[in-house]
Amino acid sequence: MKIALIGYGKMGHVIEEIAIQRKHEIILKVSIDNLEDNTVEKIQKADVAIEFTGPESAFDNINKCFEAGVPVVCGSTGWLSRYEEAVWNCKAQNGALLYASNFSIGVNIFFEINKKLARLMASQAEYNPTIEEIHHTQKKDAPSGTAITLAEQILEVSPTKKKWVLNGSDNPSDLRIIAKRIDPAAGTHIVGYHSDIDDIEIIHTAHNRRGFALGAVLAAEYIYGQRGIFSMKDVLGL
């Protein structure tokens, strides 16, 4: 495949390395140093685009890929208030979008474990669920997209929690997400259920960016030639 990398920071470099190892070609690399290359005409030369920028630019980049007629894999977080609008635009232009809050195979398995545990704990009123996430200080958004996904999975089945809140809250109906920014940290997510008797925790810790990057390339391979809205559940058959 010919891949356009929209976002060529630390993650983009690792994606490039893995994509080349898997015999793909990077035909466009867009960073803050060459934003003028981020054009529909140049994106059109790719088979697939992988978008890893930030919350301020992701939505516009995704729409640019739709306009170019190129399937797009998006790993940017912090822009989901406009996700439904992106879905509408995708369908209107017969495009293809695969968004994931986290492309790591391990994290997507962790999501499935979290859903199962949330169902088991929904009837256990004495346990209070919390989520903690730890990332490097360069991560702009908080909480992480992964933590929000974990929270939404719990809220879907919890009879007592009504919404997630960032850091402190005394409201028993709030699901607390504690966000920490510490260097160095590739990413840790902890889902805990706490009672006076004991604690139950599940933890995912990323050791480096390679798991995320590999998942993004697998997603690009999956979405190549497709039309519609997809997720990592489609890629991994979960």
Please identify which of the residues 2, 13, 29, 139 carries the catalytic annotation: 139
β-pairing verdict for 72-74 and 96-99: parallel
Residue 87 dihedral angles phi and psi, to the nearest 5° = -60, -45
Cβ-based neighbour number of residue 230 at 10 Å: 19
Known catalytic membership, residue 139: yes
Please identify which of the residues 64, 135, 189, 204 carries the catalytic annotation: 135
The helix/strand/coil state of 195 is coil
Residue 118 dihedral angles phi and psi, to the nearest 5° = -60, -40
Interatomic CA distance for residues 89 and 188, integer angstroms: 33
Q: Is the dihedral of CA 122, 133, 13, 62 positive or negative?
A: positive
Assess contact for 198 and 34: CB atoms under 8 A. Answer: no
In the structure encoding, which two tokens stand for residue 185, read together?
Answer: 């940290």
- Active site members: 135, 139
